Each structure stands twice: as C-alpha cells, then as structure tokens.
Amino acid sequence: MDISGKVAIVTGAGAGIGAALARRLADGGARVVLADLDAAGAAQVAASIGANAVAVGGDVADEKVIQSLIDRAESEFGPVDLYFANAGIGGGPGLDSTDEQWSAALEVNVLAHVRAARLLTPGWLERGSGYFIATASAAGLLTQIGSAPYSVTKHAAVGFAEWLSVTYGDKGIRVSCVCPMGVDTRLLHGDLIPGSPEAAELAVKAVKTAGAVLTPEQVAEVVVAGVAAETFLILPHPEVLKMYRHKGSDYDRWLEGMRRFQAMLRG
C-alpha cells in the first residue's frame, strides 16, 4: 500500500510510537487523525505536523470515542483508509493483579481493537479496501516476564489480528500486527507495571537484556515499510522471529529456558 494521499487514524499518538507513526505517515503524504487520552500531547504532535493532522482527545477503548475519530477523519480528510490501533497500557504483576488491572489491560490492549474493527469493517467491505494495523508486542508472541495482564492481552491482540486477516483478507481488508521488543517509550520507564516497582524492574530488565532498545522513530520506519509491503507480522526486532520459531519447535524446552532466564534476571 502506498500511504500517499491516504487517510489514517493513529491511537496513542500523544507520544512514543504513536507520535512517531503519525509524523512518518504525514511525511509520506498521508493525512492523519491523532488520538490520545492525553489530549494536550496529541494536539502538540498534530501542531508539529501541520495542516495534514488533527488531534482528538479521549479514551480509545470507548466505542463512542472511536466513532468520533472516524467522523472527524471523514469530515476533515475523507473516508478512513488505515487504522493504527496503537494505544496500549501495561498491567499488574502476576496473580496478585487486581480485577481492575486485568479489565483495564483488556479494554485498551484488546477490546479497543475489536471495537474499532467492528465500526470500520462494514465500510471497508463496501469500498473493497481498508487496512487495520495492530500494535501488539513481542510479548504477544513470546511472553512478558513480570506481568501476566500485559502478556495475556498482547497475546490476545495478536490472536485478534490473525482472526481479522483470516476472515477478511480475501475481501480487500489488509491486516498487520506490530510486535516490537524494547522501545524507548514511557512503558519502558515506569508505566509497564505501575505501582509494582519490583515487578516492573524485572520486566524492564528482561526486555533490555533480550535485545536492543529502539527509538519510536526506528519502529515507525519499519512499520511503514511493512505496511507498504502489506506484511502481516511486522517485527522491528528481526530476532523475535528466531525466538518465536524456537518456541514453536519445542515448547517445553522454550519454557524451561524462560524459567532459567527469569532466575538469572532475579540473580
């Protein structure tokens, strides 16, 4: 897909990967609606982009907010061509995670994707084209040491993207799933497991030990290249594919290795 002239919505665009994606899309000629719970952050990024970007504040897990994003895109630029379901949050640690932490992670990391696809798919089917890009995580292919809600919901995000592609891929709807490891964003600096410093330290140490920490701009470049190629699995860290294959080839051996890795991190 050529992004030039296309209309895109990017959630979680007030900072991090979302902000970098919005800027990269605009640089490529796309017109972008930026959404974030941090309305001021999204507005600041949109202002830095210029006339081809507008910002909307709100909780993108709320179906009414998603509909408002679609309506704003259509009124400002035209029908939505690409939807980047990029907003994401961390979660609690392990079995001591509260129901509220589980619910919040499910709402933002999974159900926000489902609700957006539910609203967009009918129009895309009618037009015969559309592109849904889900930001999951390498944790959705492997796991996340230190956080059960984050790991489980990112697995679910990958699973939903797979289902969407299988169900609608022959009907003009393209789907990609972005699965990076460490990225220099707020999640890596305290937001992955709020309120649980010990678990957060373990989780971040696992991420940083596993591979390089990329900038959001590096990730955005890989994502746009993956969209251009219409690749389902977009891996800013290519080594994740080797890890994923190793997991699939001998699940028990991989689990044993992860337990050893966790023990090493704990010292």
Residues designated catalytic: 150
Is the distance from CB of 154 to CB of 86 less than 8 angstroms?
A: no
What's this model's pTM, rounded to 2 decimal places? Answer: 0.96
**Would you call 72 helix, strand, or coil by DSSP?**
helix
CA neighbor of 103 nearest in space, from 115, 111, 95, 93? 111
Label residue 219 by pLDDT band (50, 70, 90): very high
| Gap between the terminal Cα atoms of the chain | 47
CA neighbor of 257 nearest in space, from 241, 246, 267? 246
Tokens representing 36? Answer: 């974030």
pLDDT at 267 over 90: no
pLDDT at 2 over 90: yes
pLDDT at 48 over 90: yes
Tokens representing 211? Answer: 């591979």
Per-residue pLDDT, averaged over 189-216, amounts to: 90
